[in-house]
Structure 1
Amino acid sequence: MVADEKFEGWCGLDRDSVHGKMVWQQFQPKPFADDDVEIAISHCGVCASDLHTLRSGWRETPYPCVVGHEIIGKAVRVGRNVTHVREGDRVGVGGQAGSCLQADCEHCADRDENHCPKALATYGSIYPDGSKTFGGFARYNRTPGHFVFKIPDAISSADAAPMLCAGITVFSPLKYEGCKGKKVGIIGLGGLGHFGVLFAKALGAEKVVVISHTSTKKEDAVKMGADDFIATSESPQWAIANQKTLDLIVSTVSTPDMPLAQYLLLLKVRGTYIQVGAPEEALKGFNMFSIIAKNLKIGGSIIGNTEEIKEMLQIAADAKVKPWVQERPLKEANDALLDMEAGKARYRYVMVNEDYTGQ
């Protein structure tokens, strides 16, 4: 089966589209190439990045834009240069749709494609030929095969979809920083944060502590496997009471008003703080002595490379990692975005294409 020219999806036409005003219409994907895979989409997760992009929060978005970068579906057309995927395979695409893949690129040569200077996002980016990348709030997706992944049979499509962005975004720093045997803090219990708990446990963390504004999600955190919970608004001395108790913190929140200096108090000497939530505004300053006094390391992480995604999917299958998802029909995409912005997701919305033609 070939999707011919029937590429339709929820298009954001301007910044106002983030307010539930995406429009269902046709769009023009990149020309099909021998390195590409065409996917009939069955599921697509809803990510905060979709909101940031629709309102041009991080940078100016090249409208029209189809968001959604947690894509699962069936490969219906496979370029002759693609060897790891066959027509009929269940596959997925995450947050990246391209990089230079040149041998003289230190990042691509090391399979660290997500840091390539020419990396392309799954939506809102421009290919070298001038065509655009379009995401998964649509019937079909066309992406270079290097960034298309086979999905293990043990993981359902609804569960696999959010792993391809939210999951890998926290899996990568947890694995890279060696969370096994460590006491790990996860700031924020949303789509990203709940994966932080699940993967920290799967990777062998000694203890997982959720740090949230209130205790409303404490019961959920415990069910996910968290060992402790800190509600910052309910105890004025929360940072002092829990100082020097964590080896590693992964922050998933994206507010510029985060109390970074207090978060750093929670770390032990030579502890590590990794930021994965991406605020649209600059973070307020803090006293550098917070870092110096304990030899702390502050870093950031963005999605993950292709090898990490494959490893994450296999670990998720082997460890039976089960995300908390809420399935919604693709026709409700506008409402789903509004509900996500309002903080109603528990903990990841996944769009289900009611007209899926890949069966």
Structure 2
Amino acid sequence: MSTDYKFEGWCGLDPKAAEGNMVWQEYEPKPFSEDDVDIQISHCGICGSDIHSLRSGWGETPYPCVVGHEIVGKAVRVGKNVKHIKEGSRVGVGAQASSCLKPDCEACADGEENHCPNTVGTYCSKYPDGSKSYGGYANYNRTPSHFVLNIPESISSADAAPMLCGGITVYSPLKREGCGPGKKVGIVGLGGLGHFGVLFAKALGAEKVVVISRTSGKKADAEKMGADGFIATDEDKDWASTNANSLDLIVSTVSSPKLPLMGYLTLLRRKGVFIQVGAPEDALPQFNAFALIAKGCKIGGSLIGPPSEIQEMLELAAERKIKPWIQERPLDDANQAVVDMEDGKARYRYVLVNQKVAGKQ
């Protein structure tokens, strides 16, 4: 393919972009290096992070921005130094585009590039040369090859896209905290992240998977995904005491700052673990230290996952035939899709499809 293509995408120009006011326009990607890969985008998942960023919810966004970090498409230009990606391959990019990769960086040296202090996000970040990163609500993406992944043949592009952020965000803590046979796992929230939590907890062999939500409105869906139990916190005033000491691991995927955190900690068994992956724009509620001390429990957080773990997750998804619950939306309809996502209409992840190229890949 000729390299004279233009990079165009849905640009957020101010916080009103989150209200469906993105503008399609051309933008300048980072300068191409021989370590980079250019991707003709066919699919891009819509993540809650996109909306937070569009409205400057996590701090001031460097407008103009193109969000989207669940990118799948075809490699159309591959730098000479790149060995694991071939031109024409179907590839993907998640929420991280770069890290320092220096041998004296503890995170990178340990294979935990996602915790590198010099990380570059797939959008709204700056590379060391000062150029900006732009995401996947676009026709093309340029990313350093270390963070470009091969997509297993048996996974469709639409299914693979939301795994690259939504999937790995829950897979990583589940795997790290020992989800598997004999473990009883709770997933707080059944949205884009939470539904992946159920799917991957079951795929990893958890003995029991319980969804924890405010209401029972999604109970039937949770059961279809494989959940073994359901707790509706707004509908049962005794939910915490009734289910006390019943779970080994809880992964909270919700972004509300009004979490009944003390109740969640009550559900943990001795030496249980609570992991927060949802990122509220406000502070989490306080909790009583004895909720941790008495049972030797731990509370922590988790941030996406390194490329090696994302590839591992994709291989597991291919092997276990994991099928996310997605709804495809035309890339041209991105503004309305973002509004619908914010209104909670997705069941359970929207994926933007560039219909001009999707059928050709």
Partner residue, 1:254: 255
Partner of 2:64: 64
Aligned residues between the structures: 359
Q: Please name the residue that 2:89 is paired with.
A: 89
Q: Structure 1: how far apart are the matches of 2:53 and 2:196?
A: 22
Q: Give the letter for the 1:97 counterpart.
A: A
Q: Distance in 1 between matches of 2:215 and 2:333?
A: 29
Secondary structure of 1:234's partner?
Answer: coil
Deviation of the 1:5 alpha carbon: 4.4
Corresponding residue for residue 315 of structure 2: 314
Indicate the residue corresponding to 2:273 in structure 1: 272
Counterpart Cα distance in 2 of 1:158 and 1:338? 20
Structure 2 equivalent of residue 8 of structure 1: 8
Letter paired with 1:21 = N
Instruction: Please say which of residues 283-292 and 110-119 is displaced more in the overlay.
Output: 283-292
Contact 1:124/1:133 (<8 A) preserved: yes
Q: How does 1:1-359 map to 2 (within 5 A)?
A: 1-181=1-181, 182-356=183-357, 359=361
The AA in structure 2 aligned to 1:354 is Q
Q: Secondary structure at the match of 1:185?
A: strand
Compute the displacement of 1:2 (Å): 3.5
CA deviation after TM superposition for structure 1 residue 283, in Å: 1.4
- Aligned equivalents of 1:20 and 1:171: distance in 2? 31
In the alignment, the residues of structure 2 paired with residue 312 and residue 45 of structure 1 have an alpha-carbon distance, to the nearest angstrom, of 17
**Deviations 1:132-164, CA, capped at 9 Å, x for gaps:** 000000000000000000000010000000000
Give the 3-state SS of the residue equivalent to 2:234 in structure 1. helix
Q: What is the rounded CA distance, in whole Å, between the counterparts of 1:196 and 1:67 in structure 2?
A: 24
Amino acid in the other structure paired with 1:173: P
Alpha-carbon distance, 1:221 to partner = 0.3
Letter in 2 for 1:352: V
Q: Distance in 2 between matches of 1:4 and 1:222?
A: 50
Distance across 2 between alignment mates of 1:265 and 1:299: 16
Q: CA deviation at 1:355?
A: 2.0
Whether contact under 8 Å (1:3, 1:140) holds in the other structure is no
For the aligned residue pairs, the C-alpha RMSD in angstroms reads: 0.9
- Residue type of the partner of 2:340? D
Instruction: Give the conservation status (yes or no) of the 8 Å contact 1:114–1:305.
Output: yes
* Distance apart, 1:3 and its partner CA: 4.3
Whole-angstrom distance in 2 between the partners of 1:277 and 1:353: 28
* CA–CA separation in structure 2 for the residues paired with 1:190 and 1:290: 27
What are the Cα deviations for residues 237-263 of structure 1, in whole angstroms up to 9, with x where unaligned? 011100000000000001111000000
SS at match of 2:237: coil
User: Whole-Å Cα distance in 2 between the matches of residues 3 and 317 of structure 1?
Assistant: 32
Matches of 1:3 and 1:69, distance apart in 2: 23
Deviation readout 1:105-151 (Å, 9 max, x if unpaired):
11111111000000011000001111100000000000000000000
Indicate if the aligned counterparts of 1:152 and 1:314 stay in contact, CA closer than 8 A: yes
Q: TM-score, normalised by structure 1?
A: 0.99
Amino acid at match of 1:43: H
Aligned counterparts of 1:198 and 1:20: Cα–Cα separation in 2: 31
TM-score of the superposed pair, with normalisation by structure 2 = 0.98
SS in 2 for 1:233: coil
Distance in 1 of aligned mates of 2:270 and 2:255? 25
- Output one character per residue of 1:70-128: Cα deviation in whole Å (capped at 9) or x when no partner: 00000000000100000000000000000001111111111110000000110000011
- What amino acid is aligned across from residue 26 of structure 1 in structure 2? E
Runs (5+) with no aligned partner, structure 2: none
